Structure 1
Amino acid sequence: MKFLDYLRWIFRALWMQRMRSALTIVGFAIGIAAMVLLSSLGEGLRLFVIQEFTQFGSHIVAVTPGKTETFGLGGILNTTRPLSLEDAEALERIPGVEQVVPVVFGTAQIKALGRSRYTEVAGVGALADKAWKLEVSQGSFLPVEDVHRARAFAVLGSKLKQELFGNTSPLGEFVHIGGNRFRVIGVMEPKGQFLGTDLDDMIYIPANKGLQIFNRESLMEVDIFYSPAVPTDRLTDNVKRLLIERHGFEDFTIVTQDQMMATMDNILRILKYAGGGLGAISLLVGAVGITTILMITVTERTSEVGLLRALGSTRGQVRNLFLGEAVMLGLIGGLAGVLAIALLIVAVQLFVPALPVALKGEIVTVALMASMLIGLIAGVRPALNATRLSPIDALRAE
């Protein structure tokens, strides 16, 4: 029997039982749609997080104060010492370092012109705008000056400026942060959010002022932006060596962006595959449907099987016909499910563009292969039953 003959037979058989076939296809389509949707959501979330982490560049090392150490008896000692502005200045002298940004964050009440609101306060260095790829729309960013004697200047995020000053220019005006007065020297361009933090609803002040306002001895973090020509391992070794010389021992933690990205990527990939696995469970319903329908079909088509065998068809050819029906049901159901999700994703991107959904070719391929494989497995038992029918007994039964 030629391949085209197989196809004609399979499509004719499915058409003659179109109601059963349609119900089975719907079951497969629902399972595949669930699998593809959950996998696409997981992939979209992974790409969203990667994009969030790389919007400030890809060559970043973060240094935070404190290091947790474990001793033989099971005790854990958290050795926390201040990460100072002097440390940040010293890190600037490491070869290959382009910008160093001392960081201290907190929430405080901002007052200006009789208006007030609670928002994020970022105490940063003067190069934070260049390092974090921030643009100034009015005025200028914090000036480069002695980090210990930096003047009380402030730069407003675009949303915070609108809330406090409306359409009037805030340049030269004063804002009060926790009882301290700051002169506004700039307004930032809209930037959006970073992992849930609204960068537009934020005020930037010098790091030394941030330490005073929040009564902190240590910076929360020092971000080091380095040249792509410098290997990450060499840079982290130099950072570790310098800080150990200054502090006497390793009382800090160094995290590279590569490490953060690799960890997040692994976690989100697991979530994506777990979501796809949950969706694949619903394919079992379709598998049961195919098995049931084909078992009934074998019983109803006994004379047909007997005639095929009487005309010289081998057991293998009869088996392949029934397996082909099962695989075709899985394939058509899978295609229907993928098409439904593709249309849904297009609609989501049109009306809710912020929702992270990404339909990848590998997801579609795996889904269709899974659909056909489950169809094949579900059709094995009915196909074997069909091959066991004796031609004479099958014809006599009719």
Structure 2
Amino acid sequence: MRIIYLLKVAWRNLSRNKVRTFVSVLAITAVVMIVIFARGLMLGFTESNFQTYIDNSFGHVRITEEEYQIREALLPLEYTVDGFAGAGKSEMISEIKTLDRVEHVLPRIRFGAMASIDDRLIRMSGVGIDTAAENEYGALKADLKEGRMPESDNEIYVGSGLMEKLNADLGDRVTFSFADAYQSLRGRSFKIVGVRESGVVQLDDNFFYLPLSTAQDMLWMENEATELLVFAADAQEAERLQTDINTLLSEKNAENYTSVIWNKADPLIEIYNEVGNLMNLVYVLFILLGTIVVTSSLNMIIRERTSEIGMMAALGLKEKEIMKIFVYEGSFMGVIGSLMGVIGGGIITFYYSIEGIYVDVFADAMKELDVLVEPVFYLIFNFENLLISFVLGVVVVTLACLFPAYKAAKMDPVDALHYIDE
């Protein structure tokens, strides 16, 4: 029952100087709101862009010919995935699909192409896709702005930015030049049947998609692909999925193939991860800024109540109990401020998780960089973010109160009582 008495004393003390208590609580509220917003923004930024890389470049695990990975920037067509012992990719895909963690396997062929429009040479990248498999996975289809996915020969699905460069409309025919697997320059006309708008400049301005069978035919790549993107049920399964794939490749003596997990496939993704880890420290520093007001308040309270502290000690309260009163007082402010911060930060985060934040300057900068980043940031609103921010606020504030509370507990009762006479 002693602890209840101490809690009551601490709670009653909050109302002794309402202005000071309000300012302290407001400071904590502000920093907790900032932390919730910052975490929501960071989580939204990384998850969105991680998913963009997963859907468009790496899958959860990407399988390529070993030499292809080294020369990938040149989009070579001589290093292909042509199955186990050259038996064709179809059998290899069937084998991969038997693995327990595999949900989708997307074969793709990437190649370079160009078009001459009004005396301008437009460079672009073509991607041969298995339309049925892509529709089942759903990422490309989800970005369909108008029209439909390509189904038959010479139909293409074009990024919205690229279509503007081509001065074309849905249903128009365009002619592209490209080099086949034997380095022969060829040309072919295509009909635009769909427009993709992903919101990622590098994708919308530079890519078009066509049926895999069409790409294989025109590039002389029968039953081949330049890559296989393999997906598990969740990105968290990627490492175990890679282990399963590597085991299969080893059993089939397919040493010429290599598998790469999505979060180790691009230095930029690793940078995102490092920044995320660094931000955890930044969140703590934000909370510490708010605790400066709380600790300053407690120090002022201790000076004002010096004689009262002497009386409590004279009446038999132990040092630990005096210390607890001030810790509880600071903790109450931490709990109230953190709770208000969670409410305010939660409302703001929820709003921007729906509306998103569009940054014009950032969008313009993305046009100059070869990175898959969306210019619109959608914050992540979830209970985990609110809970972590609340606990972080309460814990850091409570820890920050320990030192001033310790100072109060260590006061000499005689000196504290003498303060009355002064």
TM-score (ref. length: structure 1)? 0.70
Q: Secondary structure at the match of 1:93?
A: helix
Partner of residue 72, structure 1: none
Deviates more, 1:371-380 or 1:202-211: 202-211
Change in 2 beyond 3 A, CA 1:199/1:223: farther
CA gap 1:234/1:166 in 2 versus in 1, 3 angstroms: closer
Q: CA deviation at 1:322?
A: 0.8
Q: Distance in 2 between matches of 1:27 and 1:101?
A: 54
Structure 1 residues 242 and 96: alpha-carbon distance in aligned structure 2, compared to 1, 3 A threshold: closer
Higher helix share: 2
The 1:84–1:221 alpha-carbon spacing in structure 2 relative to 1, beyond 3 Å, is closer
1:82 aligns with 2:78: yes
Q: Does 1:337 align with 2:345?
A: no
Compared with structure 1, are the counterparts of its residues 301 and 258 closer, same or farther at alpha carbon in structure 2 (3 Å cutoff)?
closer
Q: Does 1:382 align with 2:409?
A: no
Change (3 A) 1:234 1:12: closer
Q: Which residue is equivalent to 2:419?
A: 397
Offset at 1:243?
7.8
Q: How far 1:259 moved relative to its partner? A: 6.9
Tell me whether 1:93 sits opposite 2:107 in the alignment: no
1:149 aligns with none
Per the alignment, residue 254 of structure 1 pairs with: 259
CA-CA distance at 1:364 after TM superposition: 3.1
Q: 1:68 to 1:100 in 2, by over 3 A?
A: closer
Q: Residues 216-295 of structure 1 correspond to what in structure 2 (within 5 A)?
A: 221-223=226-228, 233=243, 235-239=245-249, 244=254, 250-255=255-260, 268=272, 270-295=274-299
Paired with 2:336 and 2:232, the residues of 1 have a C-alpha distance of: 52
SS in 2 for 1:101: strand
Change beyond 3 A, Cα 1:234–1:199? farther
Report the Cα distance in structure 2 between the residues aligned to 1:128 and 1:199, rounded to whole angstroms.
Answer: 22
Whether the aligned pair in 2 keeps the contact of 1:326 and 1:375 (CA below 8 Å) is yes
**How many angstroms apart in 2 are the aligned matches of 1:131 and 1:348?**
33
Q: Percent identity?
A: 14
Cross-structure match for 1:132:
134
- In the TM superposition, residue 321 of structure 1 has moved relative to its aligned partner by 0.8
Aligned length: 360
Counterpart check, 1:108 vs 2:108? no
Larger Rg belongs to: 1
User: Structure 1 residues 119 and 23 mapped into 2: Cα distance closer, same or farther (>3 Å)?
Assistant: farther
- Is the alpha carbon distance of 1:312 and 1:347 closer, same or farther for their aligned partners in structure 2, counting shifts above 3 Å? same
CA distance in 2, matches of 1:18, 1:138: 64
* Gap regions ≥5 residues in structure 1: 70-79, 144-152, 245-249
Q: Which residue of 1 aligns with 2:372?
A: none
Whole-angstrom distance in 2 between the partners of 1:226 and 1:32? 37
Shift of 1:324: 0.9
* CA deviation after TM superposition for structure 1 residue 188, in Å: 3.0
Contact 1:142–1:155 under 8 Å retained in 2: no
Per-residue CA deviations over 1:297-352 (Å, capped at 9, x if unaligned) read 11211232233334443333222111111222222332333333222212323432
Please name the residue that 1:247 is paired with.
Answer: none
Instruction: Tell whether the 8 Å contact from 2:346 to 2:386 is kept in structure 1 after alignment.
Output: no
Distance in 2 of aligned mates of 1:119 and 1:67 = 21
The CA distance in 1 between the partners of 2:398 and 2:231, in whole Å, is 55
- Matched residue, 2:40: 40
CA–CA distance in structure 1, aligned partners of residues 149 and 134 of structure 2? 18
Look up the match of 2:366: none
- Offset at residue 40 of structure 1 (A): 2.4
The superposition leaves residues 131-159 of structure 1 with CA deviations (integer Å, 9 ceiling, x where unpaired) of: 3225594595244xxxxxxxxx2423373
CA RMSD of aligned residues (A): 4.5
TM-score normalised by length of structure 2: 0.66
Q: Aligned equivalents of 1:81 and 1:175: distance in 2?
A: 21
